[in-house]
């Protein structure tokens, strides 16, 4: 697989992640105290909001990593593990394009 195909995959993942971030941002809007949903339901909504905020932070981190990968896709050392300098298997790059480490170093 060549770098152009990997770039297409990374761009598709960026688009998907941006859409996910937009959904998370919509879901993390403040829970109004005057909502007539009941005390327990409101507490549940606040808890769900916290979980969604954590997912939002994770997705934003992933997006940042994907942009970093995209900016380095033409570099000579693209696809090499940052720790051991060995090639990252193409399967790992396709499944998790934001990976900068091989499986062994990522552990």
Summarize pLDDT for 38-97 with one digit per residue, the tens. 667 777 878 888 999 999 999 999 999 999 989 988 888 888 999 999 999 988 888 888
Helices 3-27 + 39-71 axis angle, to 10 = 160
pTM (2 d.p.): 0.79
Burial classification of residue 59, based on how many CB atoms lie within 10 Å of its CB (0-12 exposed, 13-18 middle, 19 or more buried) = buried
pLDDT confidence of residue 3: 83
pLDDT the model gives residue 15: 97
48, 46, 56, 67: which is closest to 22 by C-alpha? 56
Indicate the SS3 state at residue 4. helix
Which pLDDT score is estimated for 1?
A: 60
Dist. CA 99–CA 31, nearest whole Å? 35
What's the longest Cα–Cα distance across the chain?
Answer: 59
Listed in sequence order, the residues at least 6 apart from 39 whose beta carbon sits closer than 8 Å to its beta carbon are: none
Q: Do 59 and 45 touch, CB atoms closer than 8 A?
A: no
């Amino acid at each position: 697989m060549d770098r152009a195909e990997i770039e297409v995959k990374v761009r598709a993942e960026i688009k998907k992640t941006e859409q996910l971030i937009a959904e998370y941002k919509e879901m993390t809007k403040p829970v109004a105290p005057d909502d007539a949903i009941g005390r327990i339901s409101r507490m549940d909504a606040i808890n769900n909001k916290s979980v969604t905020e954590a997912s939002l932070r994770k997705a934003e981190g992933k997006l940042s990593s994907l942009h970093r990968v995209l900016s380095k896709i033409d570099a000579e050392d693209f696809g090499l593990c940052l720790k051991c300098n060995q090639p990252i298997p193409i399967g790992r790059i396709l499944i998790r394009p934001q990976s900068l480490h091989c499986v062994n170093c990522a552990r």
